[in-house]
Amino acid sequence: MNARVKDQVTADAVAASPSGELDSLLRTPSARKAIETAAVRIGRIVTLDANGAPSVDFPGSGGTPVAARLAIATSAAQLQAALESGQPVVLLFENGDAALPVIAGFIQSAPSPAVAQPAEAVPQMIEADVDGKRVRIVAQDEIVLQCGAASVTLRRNGRVVIRGTYVETYSEGTNRIKGGQVRIN
């Protein structure tokens, strides 16, 4: 839309409203505040209540913590870590109201090149809460599913290792064991 058409549409909208109500409405301080807070803000979690619900502080809150809701799945440990480290959070505001912040995510800090360590030096834990028909996990060398003394290991060379103190298999149909060789004990 070119500038002339845009100006004409805006002028027509103002003229169509009785006595330029639209124009005056947009110029009121409360309307400007709602429009300003509709943008994404960066804040910090400053407190967690007894139930683990966060309160945040952000530019424009006047330094007073404001109770926030979560739009992301996160653990109590991650919220506590964000509180302790001062990790920035991404905030959205319901209906543009600064009193109704919603935490939309966490800002991840990138390590500086001078301090960066090799990826192998820092093991990375990934948590997944998946609700779908199929989950695919891909790794370069090995995937290990472990719980206590039980584990299932998938290796790059095709080897599958199942370990446990007691291993059971159940089947409503045929339970087949196939291989080039089958060794029992």
Q: Where are the domains of the chain?
A: 3-106, 126-163
* pLDDT attached to residue 116: 54
Mean predicted lDDT score pLDDT of the chain: 76
* pLDDT attached to residue 16: 46
In this prediction, residues 56-63 reach a mean pLDDT of 86
User: Has residue 80 got a pLDDT over 80?
Assistant: yes
Greatest extent of the chain over all pairs of C-alpha atoms, in Å: 92
Q: Count of H helices and E strands in the chain?
A: 4, 9
The per-residue pLDDT for range 19-59, each reduced to its tens digit, is 445 444 445 555 445 545 457 888 999 999 988 899 999 88
Tokens encoding 11: 């002028």
3-state DSSP percent of the chain in helix, strand and coil, to 5: 25, 25, 50
Res. 125 pLDDT band, cuts 50 70 90: low
Tell me the C-alpha distance between 110 and 118, whole Å.
14
Res. 5 pLDDT band, cuts 50 70 90: very low
DSSP 98-155: TTSEEEEEEPPPPPPTTT---GGGS---------SS------SSEEEEEETTEEEEEE
3-106: CATH topology: OB fold (Dihydrolipoamide Acetyltransferase, E2P) (2.40.50)
In this prediction, residues 120-129 reach a mean pLDDT of 58
* pLDDT attached to residue 77: 87
